[in-house]
Amino acid sequence: MKLTRLVSPGEINAAARLMAAADPWRQLGLDAASCRKMMRTPFRETWKASEGGNLAGLVTITMYGTFKGYIQALFVAEAFRGRGIGEKLLAFAEKKILRSSPNIFLCVSSFNKRAIKFYRRLGYRKAGVLTDFLVKGHDELLMRKTTGPVLKRTK
C-alpha cells in the first residue's frame, strides 16, 4: 500500500464519486459534489492509499480550530475492505495529528455499527452525540482518542 497526498482535481473527482457510491455516504444521501467539497475545503488534508495503481482508500484530516486533529473522513473502497487498509490509514492520521495535538476526534453515524466497533477497538471513546447532525433521523457520534488534555497546567 502506498500513501500519498490527494491533490489533483481528476483524482479528487474520482475519489468523490467512489466515496458517494458507498455506505455510509450513500445511506446519508451525500453525493459526489458533497464528498468533493469535503476534500477540497481549506485547512484539510486528504491522503490516499493506493494498491496496484487503484484508489484503495483515503483519510481527510483537519488540523485547525477547536477540534484540531479532526478526522473528517476515513474511507476504504468496497473492493479493498477487510484488508487492514482502514487501520493503516487511521494509524497514519493518528501519528500525524499527535505530533501537534493530544486529541484525535471523528464522527461516525450511529447506524454504522461496524465502524463504531472498529473505532472502539482502536481506542476511541464516545465524547458526545450530535442528534440529526448531517440528516434528520441519523445521529453522529463524536468520538475521541486522547493522550491528555489540550492545556498542560503546572502547580
Note down pLDDT in tens along the chain; length 155 residues: 899 999 899 999 999 999 999 999 999 999 999 999 999 988 899 999 999 999 999 999 999 888 889 999 999 999 999 999 999 999 999 999 999 999 999 999 999 999 999 999 999 999 999 999 988 888 999 999 998 887 876 66
Using CA atoms, how far apart are residues 120 and 130, in angstroms rounded to an integer?
18
Q: Where are the domains of the chain?
A: 2-146
Q: How far apart are CA 19 and CA 25, in angstroms?
A: 7
User: Could you give phi then psi for residue 29, rounded to 5 degrees?
Assistant: 80, 20
First-last CA distance in the chain: 46
94 contact partners, CB below 8 Å, separation of at least 6: 104, 145
- How would you list the strands of the sheet with 44-51, edge to edge? 2-5, 44-51, 54-62, 70-76, 103-109, 138-146, 125-135
DSSP secondary structure code for residue 77 in this structure: -
**Cβ proximity of 102 and 147 under 8 Å:** yes
CATH number of 2-146: 3.40.630.30
Element (H, E) at 98: helix 85-98
pLDDT tens digits, one per residue of 65-108: 888 899 999 999 999 999 999 999 999 999 999 999 999 999 99
Beta bridge partners of 109: 140
Contacts of 50 (CB under 8 A, 6+ apart): 1, 2, 3, 4, 56
Residue pair 77/22 in contact (Cβ under 8 Å)? The answer is yes
